Structure 1
Amino acid sequence: MNDHPPVDVDLALVGGGGAGSLVLAALDRHGVRGLRIAVLDPVRKRGQDRTWAFWGRPGGDLDPLLSASWDRVEVSTPARRRVLELTPLRYAMLRSAPVYARAERAEERLGVTRIDAAVAALDDDGARVLLRDADGAPVARASWVLDSRPRPPARPGRTSWLQHFRGWWVESAAPVFDPGRAVLMDFRTPQPDRGVSFGYVLPVSDRYALVEYTEFSPALLTDAGYDAGLRGYLDRLGLDPGALTVREVEDGVIPMTDAPFPRRPSPRVVRLGTAGGATRPSTGFTFSAMRRQAEQVAAALAAGRPPVPAPAYPRRHLWMDAVALRALDGGRVGGPEFFDRLFDRNPASRVLRFLDGDTSPAEDLAVMRSSPLLPMTSAVLGDAAGRLRARLPRRAG
């Protein structure tokens, strides 16, 4: 039981993972000073517990932290293999340890108070937020709360899939990887009955790489299922799993759904990360949107405004995602076919920026035109009918 009075702060960050770490670094970089800030998390994040991959232009605050980057990526389907030139963009890999270390340095410069407690309740009266621990004891009181804890959506979506994966950091005694090229999506894996699967290779050197097996589908696999998927993919690459040393294992589960994630569940609580809508429903990509959220929060506070970022994605993108998920879920279009046509009929930079939610309306229209028209049109009509049914009052049974 906590017998201490709650700490009074201007800003409380609930969760010290990726989203919170990006916010701390952005606050420091924007020169935000004089705010009383607290981070509440029972775990102090350190070391390598996850890997992020994203694309963008070279330069910027993350460049010194990158483990590797590539200006060429490979996308393969059973029909063809493409090597895409990304210039002026590049694909980059960022491991968690330098992100957490940078956030820790930012904490020191910002004078952050650390509270090693799990927050169980946020009582928002419209003027201040009281943060309570699992015993109901108040641990902090804040003018604003940025909450990056994973949260379920406000209500179930019409389509609820998961992006789930296992990655092995593998080391070879001989050079077997091409460090000048990442494998972004390799759909030559056996496809599940309901869903999409692909392999993924991020080489740090010619002997060391992260190799992943990923599925977009409604249900998780067993541990044996993920390991079998990885071994099968390594075989597909012509690599003997027995000749590789697995140095680390990474697992992940990311929601892919058209369900709504409220950004502001109460007047002075703002959600970030996946809970705040940063995950792109049709792809599971999250990191770039988290970066945008962190930059917008820091810029707002530096200007004396409320720390409320813009929606992570335009409404038209969320609508397009709902349509794509519905088409994939209903079997109207196959994942390899869908992505094959996207990359075949659009410049690589447009597809990558679309997947990241950073394209213009004109570019979105070009992407829509390049998708399988009849199945997608059927999905559009189904999505519209689903939305209409959701709005109609239910009759008593």
Structure 2
Amino acid sequence: MNSSQIPHFDYIFTGTGLASLMTVYKMIVSGKFSDKSILLLDQDSKKANDRTWCFWEKGDSIWNPIISKKWDSALFANTNFNRHLELKPYQYSKIIGLDFYNFVFEEISKHSNITFLNEKVTDINELETHVFVGTDENRYTCNYLFNSIYTRAFAERQNKYPVLQQHFVGWFVKTKEEVFNAEEVTFMDFSVEQKGNTRFMYVLPTSKNEALVEYTLFSEKLLPKEEYEKEIEIYLKKLGSEQYEILEKEEGSIPMTCYPFWEKNTKRVLNIGTAGGWTKASTGYTFKNSDKKTSELVEFLQNENFQLKSFNKKSKFWFYDLLLLDILYRHNELGSSIFSSLFERGNPALIFKFLDEETNLIEDLKVILKCPKMPFLKALFRVFL
């Protein structure tokens, strides 16, 4: 095949995770890209339910048709206290991964200018006038490429920025006993044994006897799978459930780092999603950040003479996240006390606004000053040195 026979597209998306599918969906909704040819490439056909996304929001969003559950209340707990958080004006929302994939691909199927191919990307090569993409089956070129294939080595083979993982195993369970409060999500329950780490339970109940129960850590090293599952068993027993059925399982590991992935963006290649540093570094939350970033990106692409390299900008929140990660990397056992001090006395709506990176400096201080001061002062000293 000579170069003139290689299929050419205006945009290619390598990897069809959350960020890519959100971007393409919003390109469709905008009505501004119907004259652009778009190719999505992924070795995964996106026909399996591989994850659950949660986020807080005010009012409805474009994702409302696929939100399977909303909660107005959340529980935060540790060994010393329980606090029931009224989330208003926010609601905590859940989207099942397969519902999201089906929703977006159904819309994509209506547009002849968008193609999805189930192929594994093997090579990306940027040239002066275009980008070359090789797969295990074919070759393509495009004007601009959006890459969401995460390369672990970029973050993990450097020492300047700490790298933790938000790692978890979750069981969708149906219990014989009614042990869950269907109207309240358990946001973080630090009453589980910490074992020198930041460890908590996360519970998304859909009825009094059905819930997703996840054992989650913010730490550097993953555990043997049986350790996560043993802790879920212990927790269910503590809730009062002796008999239950495991309907489904999920597991994951999300990088938590302030490593500047965006520095690898170029004239024609933009890294997006986790590969672009879009995951909220201090929490591992992905959905809300990606929702914001993809809206910004779709607007950005409508500007004449846009430069992909200039899309990402570092903010004060990147610096706040860096301080927290520095603390948790050096003293992982402090996670429970830091988050507990924040939620024991803090205003839940203000905390969520802060985590959404929408607060002003005075509001930032109201949140930050709730945290233990000495660890952050030490981290501040280390980061500036």
TM-score by length of 2: 0.92
**Residue type at the aligned position of 2:163:** S
Residue 206 in structure 1 maps to residue 208 in structure 2: yes
Alignment counterpart, residue 135 of structure 2, candidates 114, 133, 136: 133
Residue 222 in structure 1 maps to residue 204 in structure 2: no
Question: How many pairs align?
Answer: 380
State how far apart, in whole Å, the 1-side matches of 2:4 and 2:171 are: 45
Alignment of 1:281-360 (within 5 A): 281-302=281-302, 306=306, 308=308, 314-331=314-331, 334-360=334-360
Alignment of 1:370-385 (within 5 A): 370-385=370-385
State how far apart, in whole Å, the 2-side matches of 1:58 and 1:232 are: 37
Residue 189 in structure 1 maps to residue 192 in structure 2: yes
TM-score by length of 1: 0.89
Inter-CA distance 17–317: structure 2 relative to 1 (3 Å threshold): same
**Residue type at the aligned position of 1:53:** C
Contact 1:332 1:376 in 2 (8 A): no
State how far apart, in whole Å, the 1-side matches of 2:71 and 2:122 are: 42
Contact 2:9 2:141 in 1 (8 A): yes
- Tell which deviates more after alignment, 253-262 or 282-291: 253-262
**Residue type at the aligned position of 2:280:** R
1:108 match: 109
Contact 1:327 1:333 in 2 (8 A): no
Alpha-carbon distance, 1:271 to partner: 1.0
1:391 match: none
State how far apart, in whole Å, the 2-side matches of 1:263 and 1:169 are: 39
2:80 match: 79
Alpha-carbon distance, 1:24 to partner: 2.0
Alignment counterpart, residue 175 of structure 1, candidates 178, 200, 212: 178
**Residue type at the aligned position of 1:78:** T
**Residue type at the aligned position of 1:184:** F
- Deviation per residue, 1:116-170 (Å, 9 max, x gap): 2211222112431111125xx8621111111111123354444221110000000
Inter-CA distance 69–309: structure 2 relative to 1 (3 Å threshold): farther
1:164 match: 167
Helix, strand or coil: the match of 1:209?
A: strand
Alpha-carbon distance, 1:21 to partner: 1.6
Aligned-residue sequence identity (percent) comes to: 28
**Residue type at the aligned position of 1:37:** I
Alpha-carbon distance, 1:35 to partner: 0.7
Helix, strand or coil: the match of 2:261?
A: coil
Helix, strand or coil: the match of 2:290?
A: helix
Residue 97 in structure 1 maps to residue 115 in structure 2: no
State how far apart, in whole Å, the 2-side matches of 1:359 and 1:312 are: 19
2:239 match: 237
Alignment of 1:236-275 (within 5 A): 236-240=238-242, 243-262=243-262, 264-275=264-275
Residue 144 in structure 1 maps to residue 149 in structure 2: no
Inter-CA distance 117–232: structure 2 relative to 1 (3 Å threshold): same
Alpha-carbon distance, 1:174 to partner: 4.1
Contact 1:146 1:270 in 2 (8 A): yes
Alpha-carbon distance, 1:69 to partner: 0.7
Contact 1:293 1:312 in 2 (8 A): no
What is the root-mean-square deviation in Å for CA atoms of aligned residues? 2.4
Residue 46 in structure 1 maps to residue 47 in structure 2: yes
Inter-CA distance 15–248: structure 2 relative to 1 (3 Å threshold): same
* Structure 2 unmatched runs, 5+: none
* Structure 1 unmatched runs, 5+: 386-397
Helix, strand or coil: the match of 1:359?
A: coil
Alpha-carbon distance, 1:366 to partner: 1.9
Once superposed, which parts of structure 1, at least 4 consecutive aligned residues long, lie more than 6 Å away? 1-4, 309-313
Alignment counterpart, residue 123 of structure 2, candidates 118, 121, 128: 121
**Residue type at the aligned position of 2:229:** D
**Residue type at the aligned position of 2:22:** L
Alignment of 1:11-90 (within 5 A): 11-31=11-31, 32-90=33-91
- Tell which deviates more after alignment, 72-81 or 329-338: 329-338
State how far apart, in whole Å, the 1-side matches of 2:161 and 2:104 are: 38
Contact 2:131 2:141 in 1 (8 A): yes
Helix, strand or coil: the match of 2:284?
A: coil
Inter-CA distance 58–313: structure 2 relative to 1 (3 Å threshold): farther
Inter-CA distance 370–46: structure 2 relative to 1 (3 Å threshold): same
1:392 match: none
Alpha-carbon distance, 1:305 to partner: 6.2
Helix, strand or coil: the match of 2:351?
A: helix
State how far apart, in whole Å, the 1-side matches of 2:230 and 2:305 are: 51
Inter-CA distance 86–307: structure 2 relative to 1 (3 Å threshold): farther
Alpha-carbon distance, 1:373 to partner: 1.1
- Deviation per residue, 1:279-316 (Å, 9 max, x gap): 12221111111111221222334555648598778532
